[in-house]
Amino acid sequence: MVYGAYDQRSAAPTPVTIKILIAGGFGAGKTTLVGSVSEIRPLRTEETLSERSELVDSLYGVEQKSTTTVAMDFGRITIRDDLVVYLFGTPGQRRFWFMWDDLAYGALGAVVLADERRLADCFPSIDYFERNNIPFVVAVNCFDDTEHYSLETITQALNLAGSVPVIRCDARHRESSRDVLVALAEHAIALHHEAQYA
């Protein structure tokens, strides 16, 4: 082989990329989940909560929260040399929802993080993914000192189809966050197979 010549046999394969959205209400733990599982230092677009934002963003149950995501969070997980997962955390507040269409484009699926103290905050995310036929799972983030309900009760309260997985997680811990992403991948693959053979 001539030195410097391109050898197609030795070229690294172009990696397959998978895009996953992390959604949910304000303060549900989206930034924390992306940070806990990303292999790189995650990109964060957080700003300090101002007095003006307190007029529109309820801090009930998250009184200690001092920052909020204003665009997105971004993280990466390399599964193999030829398989990379990109995580996009969506902003939770209504005034930032206009970005969701761009963030959702080409996504394999989504994780909807649920806070049992503010369960109704999940509805906009669930409605969006159902309306756009994007596979999703609901991950109930286990906050300290919070009353826990059964997963069946949460499924009923959110009016979810029986096929939507609802699991518990602790977004602070890498293994727990990883398990959520695995559950989403399995759910998305199962829905794909069902659609193929329907």
pLDDT digits (tens, 9 = 90+) for 77-121: 999 989 999 999 988 666 666 778 888 999 999 999 999 989 999
| pTM metric for this prediction | 0.80
Residue 29 lies in a domain: yes
Question: Does position 68 have pLDDT exceeding 80, yes or no?
Answer: no
Q: Of residues 179 and 52, which shows the higher confidence score?
A: 179
Q: 44: which 2 tokens?
A: 């964060």
pLDDT at 15 over 90: no
**Residue 131 parent element (H or E):** helix 123-131
User: Quick check: is 3 in a domain?
Assistant: no
pLDDT at 50 over 70: no
Structural domain total, the chain: 1
Q: Is the dihedral of CA 103, 105, 107, 111 positive or negative?
A: positive
7 lies in some domain: no
Q: Token pair for residue 180?
A: 């959520």
Which residues is 141 bridged to in the sheet? 169
In a domain, 4, yes or no: no
Is the CB of residue 27 less than 8 Å from the CB of residue 33? Answer: no
Cβ-based neighbours of 2, under 8 Å, separated by 6 or more: none
Distances in Å between the Cα of 10 and the Cα atoms of 1, 3, 6, 14, 26 are: 12, 13, 8, 12, 47
What one-letter code names the amino acid at 147? E
- Which CATH number fits the domain that encloses residue 48? 3.40.50.300
Residue 130's SS3 state is helix
What domain range includes position 143? Answer: 14-197
pLDDT for residue 67: 52
CB 54 within 8 A of CB 90: no
For residue 143, being part of any structural domain is answered with yes
Cα–Cα distance list, 15 to 7, 46, 81 (Å):
18, 30, 7
* Whether pLDDT at 163 is above 70: yes
H or E stretch at 24: strand 16-24
Residue 149 identity: Y
